[in-house]
Every structure is written in C-alpha cells, then in structure tokens.
C-alpha cells in the first residue's frame, strides 16, 4: 500500500513544489529580499504605514497561490486517507465474511454475480464427461452485491474517510448502517474527551462528516475464485449417493472459496475548497488539443466541487475451511 500511496501522491508533490517555486519567483520579482534582522525593528515600529500599489496588485495572486498550496496539501492527505480506507474495508471484509451476520451464514454473502468489468474470465469445465474436467488455469471474478455484510464493509470505508470530510451541513442525511454508527461515534468521542459533552456542535459535526462520507464514498467488493479450486456451483443430483447435499451447510451460489483473494475498491469524492475548487472545475483548452484531465475529474453540485480519489486493497479470505470435503465431484 505504501508504494501505491507514493505513486498517487507524486503528481501532487510535483504541483506543490512548482507552486512554491512560482511563489518564490513572485516575491523576488516584486523586489522583496528576506532580511530577518529587520523583523525586530518592524515589530517595534508603531508608526503608520501605507500600502503600496505593488502590494495591492500582488496580494490577490499571492492569496490564490497560497490557497492552491493548501488545496494540494489536502489532496495529498486525502490520497493517503482513501488508501487507508480501502485497506480498512478489505480488512473488514476478511473479518465479517467468515462470520455469520443475520441470514448470511459463515463464509457466504447474500448474493454475487460475475463481474461485468472483468476481461480475463476463464470459465471452468463442470461436465465430468469432458476430457478437460478438473483443476485448470485462470478463474472467475465475482462482484458482491448488497447485503448485511457488504454494509458493514462499506461502513469501515465511511469511518476512515470521515477525516477528510467537511463538518458543515451540506444537506446530506444519515440512514441505515451509517445512522447506527453515528451513535457509536458520539459515545467513543465522549469517552475519549469527556468535556465535549457540553458542546452540542461536536455531535452535529460528527454526524455531518459521517453523512457526507456515506453519500460521497462508493465501495465495490470483488473476489477471485481460481479454477484450481472446485467451482462455485451446486453438486449434481447423480452424486448425491456419494456426497449428500446439505442445504444449510452448503449454500451454493453464495459461498466464497477457501482463501479467495478479496479486493475492495473505494472511490471518494473529496470536497474541495470553494475558491480553488471552482477555479479548477473550469475547462482549459490546451494548446496541444489534449483534454483537461483535472477538470474532467471534478464534479459540481451547486456550490460544492469534489475531486475523485480512488484506491483498492486485496486481502485473502480468512474463512475456516469447510469440515465436509469440498472438491471436484469426480475426485
């Protein structure tokens, strides 16, 4: 994860360095020279001063560059946070999927489908009379759909992304799993900072941050099942005398394979500062005719500008191996 964070932050580090160099050049072109020895006399001087025309002309540009530096720094922090959110969600997946949550039994989810975006799908041979029947190369990637376990996994990503979410009220509301998590957050915050109970704004700000995180964060859960393992399909009736099927023990089409890699992809639409966000959202026509990639990734929702940050993490399923043999039917 550390290498991925460094690669994602590299463009922002370059932009931050370029902004600092440009700011330094602007100061030198204005005729200013840093003299630390004059700071003491300037502080002691109680006489009046007049703003020069050059200061008035350069102040807006100076403030704009300063805001851009702050915005780039926030985006670099946001990149690190979103990578951590992906890891936290993947860690939550390998903890909750092996557990029983409501109607979702151990090592199963409510439902999943073949990933429509996967391009390297290799279907296994499930006909015992076929010569290529048995363990093979490749495998299938599945996309996990909604369910209690998926909601808990997504909640881990929401909690991690709260650190970079605005605390002001943007009109988003809490519901479902996020509403239940808001109460736990308030209890944890008050336990760590007992004096915060007297400030009602803290509870409101925590709920605003969680509401924005749940509305602006998208979570996708996939797992890869290798063809070297038994396919995730029901056992045929002709093998019932050899291996009776227990509907409660084997919930086929819902079960994950033993130690299948689980990948969680988190996409967070980070709220930008009002000034730099509105400026970056404007389309710029480049001389070479290439599209403006920065503006294309910024969404406008009223006065709110958001920038898309994406990260993914993969961990192995930690579910216990089934007691009943789970192998190819002919083996």
DSSP string, 99-130: S-BTTB-TTB-S-EEE-TT-S---PPP--TTS
Q: How confident is the model at residue 123 (pLDDT cuts 50, 70, 90)?
A: confident
Residue 73 has pLDDT above 70, yes or no: yes
Range in 42-46, 118-122, 304-308 the model is least confident about: 42-46
Q: What are the extents of the domains in the chain?
A: 2-34+53-168+220-316
Residue 147 has pLDDT above 50, yes or no: yes
Which of 307, 287, 317, 285 shows the shortest CA–CA distance to 94? 317
pLDDT at 249: 45
* C-alpha to C-alpha distances, 121 to 88, 113, 138, 198, nearest whole angstrom: 27, 13, 7, 57
Mean pLDDT of the chain: 78
Q: How confident is the model at residue 326 (pLDDT cuts 50, 70, 90)?
A: very low
Cα 298 versus chain centre, distance? 16
Half-sphere exposure of 71 (CA within 13 A, CB side): 22
pLDDT in tens, 180-204: 777 777 778 788 888 777 788 888 8
pLDDT at 239: 42
Q: How far apart are CA 96 and CA 134, in angstroms?
A: 31
Residue 329 has pLDDT above 50, yes or no: no
* C-alpha to C-alpha distances, 227 to 51, 128, 148, 239, 260, nearest whole angstrom: 75, 15, 28, 20, 11
Are 305 and 272 within 8 A, CB to CB?
yes
Q: How confident is the model at residue 217 (pLDDT cuts 50, 70, 90)?
A: very high
pLDDT in tens, 4-54: 666 666 776 777 777 777 777 777 776 666 666 666 666 666 555 555 666
pLDDT at 149: 92
pLDDT (mean) for 91-98: 92
| pLDDT, greater one: 145 or 46 | 145
pLDDT (mean) for 232-247: 50
Are 133 and 127 within 8 A, CB to CB?
yes
Residue 134 has pLDDT above 90, yes or no: no
pLDDT at 324: 46
Q: How far apart are the first and last CA of the chain?
A: 39
pLDDT at 325: 46
Q: How far apart are CA 325 and CA 285, in angstroms?
A: 62
| pLDDT, greater one: 133 or 143 | 143
- Give the contacts of 256 (CB within 8 A, at least 6 positions apart): 97, 107, 108, 109, 223, 225, 232, 262, 317, 319
pLDDT (mean) for 101-108: 83
Residue 245 has pLDDT above 80, yes or no: no
pLDDT (mean) for 257-262: 86
Residue 220: phi, psi to the nearest 5? -120, 135
Q: How far apart are CA 70 and CA 124, in angstroms?
A: 52
Q: How far apart are CA 240 and CA 246, in angstroms?
A: 10
pTM of the model: 0.75
């Amino acid at each position: 994860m550390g290498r991925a964070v460094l690669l994602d932050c590299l463009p922002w580090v370059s932009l931050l360095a370029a902004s600092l160099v440009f700011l330094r050049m602007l100061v030198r072109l204005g005729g200013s020279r840093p003299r630390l020895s004059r700071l003491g006399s300037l502080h002691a001087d109680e006489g009046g001063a007049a703003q020069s025309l050059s200061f008035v002309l350069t102040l807006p540009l100076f403030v704009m560059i300063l805001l851009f530096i702050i915005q780039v720094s926030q985006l670099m922090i946001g990149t690190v946070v979103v990578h951590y959110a992906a890891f936290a969600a993947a860690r939550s997946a390998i903890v909750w999927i092996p557990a029983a949550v409501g109607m979702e039994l151990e090592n199963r989810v409510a439902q999943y489908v073949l990933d429509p975006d996967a391009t390297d799908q290799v279907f296994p041979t499930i006909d015992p009379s076929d010569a290529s029947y048995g363990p093979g190369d490749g495998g299938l990637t599945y996309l996990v759909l909604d369910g209690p376990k998926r909601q808990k996994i997504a909640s881990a990503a929401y909690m991690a992304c709260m650190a970079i979410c605005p605390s002001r009220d943007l009109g988003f509301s809490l519901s479902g799993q996020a509403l239940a998590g808001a109460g736990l957050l308030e209890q944890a915050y008050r336990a760590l900072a007992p004096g915060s109970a007297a400030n009602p704004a803290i509870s409101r700000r925590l709920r605003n941050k969680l509401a924005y995180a749940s509305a602006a964060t998208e979570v996708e859960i996939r797992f890869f099942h290798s063809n070297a393992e038994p396919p995730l399909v029901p056992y045929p009736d002709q093998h019932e005398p050899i291996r009776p099927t227990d509907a409660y023990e084997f919930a086929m089409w819902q079960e994950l394979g033993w130690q299948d890699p689980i990948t969680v992809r988190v996409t967070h639409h980070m709220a930008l500062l009002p000034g730099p966000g509105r400026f970056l959202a404007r389309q710029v026509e480049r001389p070479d005719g290439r599209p403006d990639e920065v503006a294309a990734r910024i969404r406008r929702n009223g006065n709110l500008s958001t920038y898309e940050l994406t990260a993914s993490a993969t961990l192995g399923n930690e579910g216990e191996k089934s007691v009943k043999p789970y192998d190819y039917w002919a083996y």
